[in-house]
Chains A and B, each alone.
Chain A
């Protein structure tokens, strides 16, 4: 394979165009689904191929193939070149790229336990055990889990002289217990399922190997899940009204992801995502001076290793730019976008923020969140709780919806812990809160400290056409928001 790639690197060098690159990718994925202690479905996927991107006459062309014969790959390089040429004739704005230093590098994400070196039973044993423990509980209807492992080898080669090889791992999973309760959703009665999941309904994904699953301690969590489900059978529904809110874990990761995470993607400023991903309320005029959150809020994007093993981590993005930390919101002020080499140039920035990621070899890279994290403040979760007279603590999301500018949102939780006079006083069912991104983040009066910090992450952030999914990490400590609207009248 290396011989072919070297030949292709020479072909790139001979192209008469502004820029060109290719990515050879081998992508392996293994998903194990089990239910009530039985492996229900196992799916292993392997794909490899090559994608060429050419900038010619101020326009991009892209072509990808899984046929790795020399004839085929040269044909696809030609298709990318000629597509760019065709599209350059109908462009009205010339694409210019911010500079990127040529790099020769090899980086393998450090993992303690490579999931591909473990047997099936070894991998799935702990979750099967956890499911069985959940199923033994009185009133439990079912328990299920998912384990999901990804290993991706990327060789990025550019006309400018870069040759970067990376091996990335993404690992995560979830478990849930489910019970049926008398429904209060509609007057006719009937039953309704209630679910408690750990670490969240979409799982927790990290840039790690199997150790990520071990650290989730599925078996230890089953007791709490079962107790909470038991309590939820008798719990009231969450009320309507204004209350203080603490978000932690998966639901706070989602809140960050859907609001400032997507809003800070600079391709949305230029209308590139108008008919799918939407636009953004963060226009360039707000950059550097506009308060968009309270001073307690600092959000950063960093695919590097400094903050922890986020599932969006890498050493170089899919344009060959090295990972770096940028501040999106600094103490409540909007300070930066996630950019590509193209949008960095639009925004007169000297270099991109290294946020270009493609799902695999067959997709064009897009501006993506990598690890978008809320930096910690001070104190513990109990410190946040003790200052609340009447409020709720939410951990896991159940439903979410946000408008195309990333402003008006509504998010529902699996369950909520009621807080009264600084103490947790039981659970409520189906809490739903809603608000406006700016008002909501301006109402954040405190973020807990480093001792509560943890990385969360999702495996399936969708964007682009052809549609592609990305892993996104979110480091966070619990955060408190004042006077939030609950319920739908």
Chain B
């Protein structure tokens, strides 16, 4: 693949006639299959190759993206780019630095991907049927390539593989979701994922517990917590903070969250995966964002997502520090509270206080005196993220690796929060 990508890059540079271009090439091959008990109902094998050309102008960047690598296709893409940016400016070249070494590519027999998907679905559905449960889930396995180059000889390449498998089991009115992600497809243990989703569904099937409005202790699953803090993520942008447009403006070095909460942007963590360079070719490096609840750092050079994501600087490799408890010990600490397994339609209501609302789904359990009593039904929260993160009381020892967008991953523990406002 690297040869094919290099050829395309050279062809683009040949036609660019000295334009101060940046070339970003993405290629992807693989399958995603979605299933219910009745089998696979939606699937797609995709082979995608695209390039994004970037020019800098006095007012901002200009991008042209295409998947047509023919001579004519490249010429047309360059023509479009020149039309919107007749007087491009040179990029300041990224400083030479060692990019973190990160192996994210594992043996991946692409031609067997549909067969593997069918096997995984068959195995999962078999277990679910024996457990007299129904389900909905997905299996995906992809090989991806990211490549960045420019006329000055910059060349960065990162191959990746990934397998993801998620199941929402439904049993006796209870639902349970569990998922797995890892770059190495061999690590997938289908029965484990299905059993975990069934375990939550069975716990949720005991009885329905309506949750009256009020404040509750909560345990968030790693997935639910990652979704919960999503509206905060763009505010870790150093430039946004400097311009007074971030909720963290003026708070650097100050206690913003609970002392029990520490979060880093850290691709170098041994269990993290992602692209080791940013969209401008800078090497990624660790940034301690929140240390013991104190806002310690913000994202700048080395974390650009310009042209690739909606926000120009956005964390891609979050790691929340683990705690000292097992998940069972966390459950035992809850006098009256809720386990939130997955959240649904989470949205920002007002920005300054980071006021959010959403619903709990797919295995939200009501806990009393450390025991699961049944499923929490119809649970809508409406609260401030500052207030929720200020009440983090602990975390599990176990951290779970989660896929986070196309280019990153997150490593989160289960989080214990002493109060969440349910409406």
Option from A45, A93, A278, A366 in Cβ contact (under 8 Å) with B344: A278
- B134 vs chain A, min Cβ distance (A): 7
Footprint of B on A, CB under 8 Å? 38-49, 51, 59-67, 72, 76, 79-80, 82-83, 86-87, 89-93, 119-120, 183, 185-186, 190-193, 270-275, 278, 362-364, 366, 398-404, 408, 410, 412, 430, 432, 464-466, 488-489
A192 touches B307 (CB 8 A): no
Q: Would you give the 0/1 interface string for B320-362, flagging 1 where the beta carbon is closer than 8 Å to chain A? A: 0000000000000000000000001111111111010111011
| Chain A residues whose C-beta falls within 8 Å of the C-beta of B81 in the assembled complex | 44
B67 touches A83 (CB 8 A): no
B185 within 8 A of A: no
| Chain A residues whose C-beta falls within 8 Å of the C-beta of B346 in the assembled complex | 401
B118 touches A89 (CB 8 A): yes
| Chain B residues whose C-beta falls within 8 Å of the C-beta of A72 in the assembled complex | 47
If A271-B134, A412-B349 touch, does A90 touch B39 (CB 8 Å cutoff)?
yes
A79 touches B61 (CB 8 A): no
Besides A66-B49, A86-B115, A190-B352, 10 more A-B contacts (Cβ < 8 Å) are A45-B65, A45-B66, A47-B66, A48-B67, A76-B47, A92-B38, A273-B136, A366-B42, A398-B349, A466-B32
Find the B residue at minimum CB distance from A410. Answer: B357
Find the A residue at minimum CB distance from B50. Answer: A47
Find the A residue at minimum CB distance from B179. Answer: A275
Q: Could you tell me the distance between the alpha carbons of A366 and B358 in the complex, rounded to whole angstroms?
A: 26
Identify the interface centre among A42, A79, A275, A464: most chain B CB within 10 Å of its CB.
Answer: A275
B75 within 8 A of A: no
Find the B residue at minimum CB distance from A363. Answer: B44
Q: Could you tell me the distance between the alpha carbons of A408 and B381 in the complex, rounded to whole angstroms?
A: 12
A43 touches B65 (CB 8 A): yes
| Chain A residues whose C-beta falls within 8 Å of the C-beta of B47 in the assembled complex | 63-67, 72, 76
Pairs A–B under 8 Å by Cβ, sample size 6? A48-B67, A61-B114, A63-B46, A192-B351, A366-B42, A466-B44
Footprint of A on B, CB under 8 Å? 31-34, 36-50, 59-68, 73, 76-77, 80-81, 83-85, 114-115, 118, 121-122, 125, 134, 136-138, 140, 166-168, 170, 177, 213, 307, 344-353, 355, 357-359, 361-362, 378, 380, 382, 384, 423
B357 touches A364 (CB 8 A): no
A403 touches B33 (CB 8 A): no
Q: Could you tell me the distance between the alpha carbons of A246 and B259 in the complex, rounded to whole angstroms?
A: 46
| Chain B residues whose C-beta falls within 8 Å of the C-beta of A93 in the assembled complex | 38-39
- A94 vs chain B, min Cβ distance (A): 9
Q: Could you tell me the distance between the alpha carbons of A278 and B175 in the complex, rounded to whole angstroms?
A: 13
Find the A residue at minimum CB distance from B122. Answer: A90
| Chain B residues whose C-beta falls within 8 Å of the C-beta of A89 in the assembled complex | 118
Q: Could you tell me the distance between the alpha carbons of A51 and B67 in the complex, rounded to whole angstroms?
A: 15
- A347 vs chain B, min Cβ distance (A): 15
A401 touches B359 (CB 8 A): yes
- A135 vs chain B, min Cβ distance (A): 15
B45 touches A186 (CB 8 A): no
Q: Could you tell me the distance between the alpha carbons of A87 and B119 in the complex, rounded to whole angstroms?
A: 9
B44 touches A432 (CB 8 A): no
B42 touches A90 (CB 8 A): no
Find the B residue at minimum CB distance from A274. Answer: B136
Q: Could you tell me the distance between the alpha carbons of A464 and B34 in the complex, rounded to whole angstroms?
A: 9
A362 touches B66 (CB 8 A): no
A272 touches B83 (CB 8 A): no
Q: Could you tell me the distance between the alpha carbons of A66 and B382 in the complex, rounded to whole angstroms?
A: 44
| Chain A residues whose C-beta falls within 8 Å of the C-beta of B38 in the assembled complex | 91-93
B66 touches A403 (CB 8 A): no
| Chain B residues whose C-beta falls within 8 Å of the C-beta of A86 in the assembled complex | 114-115, 118
A87 touches B48 (CB 8 A): no
B36 touches A274 (CB 8 A): yes
- In the A-B complex, list the 3 residue pairs whose CB atoms are closest, starting with the nearest: A91-B39, A274-B136, A93-B38
Option from B49, B85, B170, B353 in Cβ contact (under 8 Å) with A185: B353
B114 touches A83 (CB 8 A): yes
A42 touches B63 (CB 8 A): yes
A42 touches B85 (CB 8 A): yes
B125 touches A90 (CB 8 A): yes
A92 touches B357 (CB 8 A): no
Option from B140, B348, B350, B358 in Cβ contact (under 8 Å) with A465: B140
If A120-B83, A278-B344, A408-B380 touch, does A43 touch B45 (CB 8 Å cutoff)?
no
- A410 vs chain B, min Cβ distance (A): 6
- B93 vs chain A, min Cβ distance (A): 22
A44 touches B84 (CB 8 A): yes
A59 touches B138 (CB 8 A): no
Option from A82, A271, A364, A403 in Cβ contact (under 8 Å) with B345: A403
| Chain B residues whose C-beta falls within 8 Å of the C-beta of A408 in the assembled complex | 359, 378, 380
Q: Could you tell me the distance between the alpha carbons of A278 and B46 in the complex, rounded to whole angstroms?
A: 25
| Chain B residues whose C-beta falls within 8 Å of the C-beta of A76 in the assembled complex | 45, 47
B42 touches A402 (CB 8 A): no
Find the B residue at minimum CB distance from A178. Answer: B245
If A40-B59, A62-B43 touch, does A432 touch B64 (CB 8 Å cutoff)?
no
Find the B residue at minimum CB distance from A398. Answer: B349
Q: Could you tell me the distance between the alpha carbons of A151 and B168 in the complex, rounded to whole angstroms?
A: 37
